[in-house]
Structure 1
Amino acid sequence: MMRLVPGFLAALWFISPVMAQESFRVELGRDGETIGDMRPVFLKFESRPLPAISPSEVARRYQSLFRNSDEPEVRIDALNRLSNIRDRSGEDIGFSPSEEVQVYREAISSYESILERGSFSGSLDELLYQMAKAHALTGNHEESIQRLKQLVGLYPDSPLVPEARFRIAESAFASGRYAEAEAGYRQLIESGNSAEFSTKARYMLGWSQFKQGAGAWNRAANTFVTVLDEFLPDTRSLETVNASSVDTIDDTFRVLAMMAARKRGADTLVSWLGDNGSRPWVHLLFDRLADYYAILGQTDASVAVNQAFIRYAPNHGKVPAFMLQVVEVWQRAGQPERIRQARAEFVAGFESATGYARLNQSEHEKWQGFSRMLADFHYNRGTRAAESGDINAAQAAFASAADYYEGLARRSAPKGEVLRLAGDARLQAGQFPEALADFRQAAYEVVGYQAAADAGWAAVTLLRDGVEGQRVSRDFRPSLAAVSAEADRFADRFPGDARNAGVMADLSKRWLAAGDHQRALDYSARVITSKEASGPERYAAWQVTAKVRQQQAEYGLAERAWQQALALAENAGTGHSANGLAGAGDMASIRKQLATVVYRQGEGAATSGNAEEAVRHFRRISSILPGSEIAIKGQYDAANTLLKAADWPAAIKGLERFRSDFPGHELASGISEKLVHAWVSSGQPALAASELLQAASGQPAPWTLRLRAAALLHEAGNVAERNALYRDYLATGPAVEDSSGHLQLQTMRHRLVESDAGADRWRQALVRAELDSPWHSEETLAWASRASLVLGARAAATFTSIELSHPLEDSLARKQQALETARQRFLDAEALGGDAVVSESLYRRAELYRGLARDLIASAVPAELNEMEAMQYRMLLEEEAHPFEEKAIRLHSENHQRITSQGYDAWIERSLGVLAKLHPGRYQRDVKWLSWNMEAGDGV
């Protein structure tokens, strides 16, 4: 918990009601951009016709009145009237320039005098405003700003506040206090009554944020975006920009582009702009960033910005221009492949009718030219690939060429030649859908065809190859469902064909991989029940069945299926491995899966709370796959199941046995933690701590475990071992990174203070850590405060024990040093403990000074002095002691005054007892203390 010290607002003493106030304002441009540019404007309380005498004579009289009057209000009024005469007459009369500075200094004194009295017939906010201007003119900039701040704080509703806020923020910006300037500009903007300053304030707000560095650039960007929204609210505003605003707008674009370039470029712009891509100026900002990168020679970055705008505002009217600009950038960089890619993106982007309609005439010509160039390029590439024997590349190139030719044919004339080229390209490209149609017609529509089954099988094979990715094209990507439908059609027409069982077994595996368990089971069942199915096909079907049941968490059925598959593999013998049945590696895999489903049955039993059955399943894994990893894990989980079932003795026995049997296994590393849990849960924290300490001994960073052990030792009441761990840990100098870490360390020190022989050492460490820490809690503050009081009392005792002897200078210096040590301890206690210890601290500090005064007076007179000299020496001692006694009285009195705010306590009672001795006439009374509200004049 952080404690905040309340600020002292001295200006609050000057507030008084002001009736019948008049107001005025000073406009930017006429009155100066900064306080230093302004001339003081004095309050004009009334406006009367000039008398029928010379203005110079009237001015002379008011000058004389200003010089001779002792009344501040009269002097200020005289200056006001001088200002009126100069404004009304238009003559340069009054004080000379050199006199004016002196006069304004005197006027400031008059202002201060009026404020100190708290009474003024005019408007105090205007008076403060004039004081600020006068201070600025006389070169006292800091005082000028302070008066403006006082005006804002005391009169927040004054019409002068917007300008005052602007000038305060302006001063902070000029002084390099950019965070303070940001707060000032923002407060002015958010006040709602700053129309005169809002645009410039927002612009300067952005620069204040920018000047704070990259960490504040997101805020700066949001501000600059708002500035552009204000200057360029609609499309028309782009064409009617005021000449005086051009530089501001250009600077805003420039700084946004520069910030974005130093961050993540276009991505940063998008994050700043949000989803509002309809801003009329947004394309100019992206263009500025793209140009920025291009000027730096960063071609990739420039292209990325253009592409980012296209993604950001895909429907913007400038998208075609940005895409063409990408082409131009790559052309300037001399990158043919990138040029071709950019042209292809342009053609693809406006290939549709609606897209093409977005282009103007020049862009139409570009699109057509690009299409023809790309079509010719791919056609020539296909020809070269075919000549070199690269069929796949040739087919892809011809298909691409055909696409471009067909698209161009729809939008250019003459179309005949273009379409002829497109047809030729299609002819040379592989057209798999047409091939599939031919196979199907031959197999199922041609009557009496002798090779119909082979044709039908070709259709099945083509689709299956398409699923495997061997025969695919842009418009031919068959699904597994299409293969199944084709295989079912084939099996219905040719039921006795020997190839049916194989394709069904293959489909069962494919549907399993696709995640359709029901279809996988259906096809595997058809294989298992088929008379024509071979051993390997049945083996594959049982495997699919086992995997489906396993994935569906039907582990009992899965175990049966794996047993069937294992039996087929074992009965086939090694001589049949060539027929496709399992080899030694496959059989090991089956046993592993069998062990897995048994393990899952154990998991299920454990989840349902049947610990006995779970332990049985876990332990029988060893008979299926002895020595395997899963068997070891089964033994581990058996012990862990007993642990979860709160069977602590059996769990501890099982865990210790596992650690003994498999000491190097990775699971053994967690045994220690589980044993700790078991010991703690069984009410034996000391044994748990011993386990943690044993585990920590082999760790490179052991203190996490040792501290847990210390907590358990604390719980067990083993203070000696706990303190030893605390001392060792604190000796490492641990770093504190958060409030919980601070509380942990302070708790250790506090417990050591309570139980360790070297308590003062830990008190000092406790206080020092609390004073240095940014994190506090009520507990740590109370501990540290009390420790500081104890240390202060010890230091006070040391102070008292020092006798004042000759030479007095030496002993007095030691005594004062001891006093300062004790006093600082008490002040630290106040800083930490707050009101709870202030009374005690005040009393003890007062007694330090009283003791010093008493010891000074009581100190011995040097023996070599005669009677007169001794008397003078004692008088000098009394004079030296008097300030200390007075300071003691002030501190005791301050403690006395706390009765009204904090109530009565023992330390205040002690202070009153001392005061009764020092001032018996005032304090030694038989009265009852009551609480009351002090008037303003009762303060000390």
Structure 2
Amino acid sequence: MRTSRERLLLAPRPRTLAVLLLVQSLGACSMFGWHGSKPGATPDNAPTIQSLSKREIVIEPDPGIPADEDKAIAAYRNFLAVTPEADKRAEAQRRLGDLAMASADNANAANPTPSGTPDYTAAIAQYRDYLKTYPNDPTNDRVIYQLARAQEQGGHLEEALATLDLLVAKYPQTRYRDEAQFRRGELLFTLRQYPKAEQAYTLVLGGDKLGTFHERALYMQGWSRFKQGNLEEALGSFFGALDGKIVGIKDDDLDKSEALTRADKELVDDTLRVIGISLANLKGAESIPAYITSNDRRSYEFRVYQQLGQLYLKQERPKDAADTYAGFARLNPLDAQAPAMQAQVIAIDQDAGFDQLALAAKKDYVAQYGLDGEFRKANPEGWEHAQPLVKTALAELAQRYHSQAQKTKAQADYVEAAKWYRAWLAEFGSDPEAPENNFLLAEVLYESGQFAASAVEYEKTAYEYPTHPHSADAGYSALLAHAAEQKGVSGDALAPMQRAGVDSELRFAAAFPADSRTPAVLTNAADTLFKLHDNERAASVAEQVLALQPPATPAQRRVAWTLVAHTSFEAGQFDRAEKAYGEVLALAPANDPARGELTERLAASIYKQGEQARTAGDNKAAAESFARVAVAAPGSAIRENAEYDAAASLIALKDWAGATKTLEGFRQHYPKSPLQPEVTARLALAYGEQQQWAPAAAQYERIALAPTTTPEGATRARAALWQAATLYERAAASDPDSVKAGKPRPADAAANRALAAKDYDRYLKQYPSPLEPAVEAHWRLAQLAHIDGNAAVESAQMHAIFVADQNGGAARTNRTRTLGAMAALDAAQPVLEAYQKVALVEPLAKNLNLKKAKMQDALKAYAVASDYGVAEVTTAATYRVAALYQDFAKSLTTSQRPKKLSKLELEQYNELLEEQADPYVEKAIALHGINASRTTQGIYDEWVKKSFDALKTLQPARYNKTEHSEATVDAIR
């Protein structure tokens, strides 16, 4: 450690002002006398200590009266040579001294001597000669002053000092007293006679307070004391010197202040420097308050602390420097300069590597000068200046703890980092750096697991500031935060989080449509909305994905189309769903396992369109949609139902040909389908509507032959078998000459009759009861046998009808009775034929008896038929009985006559036959009459008509009349 004495010896010497003052004095002189300088006048362009050695003095010639000191001197010497008057000679000699002084000044200015010391020998000699000649002249104080000046300028410092001592001793009240004392002080200081120099400067200070030399004397007094080691007293002087220069100046950098001249700036700079040295050799900053004795000094107090702090830094004493700056801030917390001083503390601690101290200093700084500190209220202007460092300090605190947290992963560090980021944003939320710091706050929250809070800050960073480089990244990071928040969450708590995430995704996409991540973001948003059952929004967002330019990736478009498809399907927009599923399939690879399900979805969309059309009554559109399923998705499970429903729609349209084709295709493609029975029934209907009786019958046969275990099934099978038989029968009865499609050709008639007979026969075997259809089946078989000319079969079936009806008991019906009656009538036919075979020939008696017997058999047979009471059978039986009687009468009258009868006998024989025949004729007439009378009962069938025809012959007078009508003419008169 250096001693106080060593530090004093190492301190810089003050620059001398003697030369400066002499030059200024010279400037006040004229050729005819020196009038001195005005008190307090210090021209702004006066030479300074620093520039004096380099300054080149140029005296411009007077253009009006050119000056020539040599000629003037010669003139004065000539004047002295011829002038005897003492007073005039004195003035001339004094002028000669001044001219010699001026000549030396000018010569030195124009051509400096090699040694640097001007030659003032002539001036010195002239002044000394004058004093010797006029020792008691009352104006000698001026001459002595000039002599001292010439001696000092000529480098004779000790002689100059002695001359000045003479001046102040002999002329204590001279007007040059202050200047003389000041110059004495300068010479004494130069000669290192510091106590005497101090005394001289003190005498100056006791003079004119507003004089030119007062401030400089105060300054040099301080230096004189400083050189003597009287540091406390020196500081008093130095502070006094500053009082006259920098009180109230607000410029932070005095070198740039317009309130000071260049000379003043150098003086102030030196003064502050020596003050710093003095304080450093005392108690440092602790010594300063004793000298801050007024508000004026308080205005520049901070500069003293600054100077001392800078000195400590130069001396590599950072701790002392930091304490100095901190001391000012502590003592003057509301001073406008306090923030800058405290900022120096931070900078010093950082530069010195005092991390903990720097950290504490930063916290103190933001606490003292932040938004909510007292400093802002007390010193708004200073607060504005403090904010840049508050901003920096807050950012550094936040970043420090952030970096530390990333290393330690300690929650406390994350909390601290977030705290400082929030503090920064609270104060500088509108600063251009705010987005970046907001982003870092969000990062801290995310890294510490506060995902919900981080999402809020990411979104603020992305959307609440003007666009900045982190905007898109912040928006995307918010999405990651939402996703992280949702991990591990389930149940009712998850849905609100997912909705918040979707809102953030949509906000990102709206704000950054051109971002490369937007397609994926929108795709995920749409998928999430679908999972949340918000189908309408899911579809809308999916459409946004599909509308992106440039297009989204195939995978993203596939997801979007899938969502459009699903949502459209669930919304009943099946046409839109069909298109979307088609797009999805187009984007899916051929070996994609999902193709099967997608195909089923496509098929379902088309199928549902068919259902919608069917519900709306548009069976044509329904059929078309159902049919398209097989084209668009031939392997789909729903194709089976679709084809069946297509046929049903065609049936509803009565498009029987289309329905038939579709149903036959269905039967071929799906032989094991449970719908096959329905297909058969619908085919039966379709063929029937097209009058394709045989194919229709074949379908009914399938129904009838299908196995069944239920009563309903048995009933259906019985009805189908009956229908098959009747349709075959109908097919056989169709126009044999027709060549129209679907109708049997001539060769088919017999085959169809055989099929009909086969089914009727099968019916009778399987369903002998109930009675009526069984009897009807026998009847149909009889008719078919009749058509085919198979009399035996026909007779057998008719007999079966009769027997069945006769034995039917309570099961008999009108139909069975009718058919039984017809069967009875039919049964009478062979009896009638047996009667008809008997001819009345010889032996007449035998044959007549036989014929009568046969007639009785016939009458009995017809009586059985007639007894049924069936009108059409009764009329037939009545007619046939009447015809039988009529025929018997005729047979009698036309019977073979016995041989060998005479004419009379023959005539009598004939009359006898007629008499025997007449009752039969009467019976015939009576029976025909009964038939004819049935018209009154509303019965007029072919048998009644035939009875009328018979009566016309039997009773022509009654039944064979011709109606006559007379024409009338109406005349209009």
Indicate the TM-score class for this superposition, using the shorter chain for normalisation: 0.3 to 0.5
| TM-score, length of structure 1 as denominator length | 0.32
Higher relative contact order (CA 8 A, sep 6+): 1
| TM-score, length of structure 2 as denominator length | 0.31
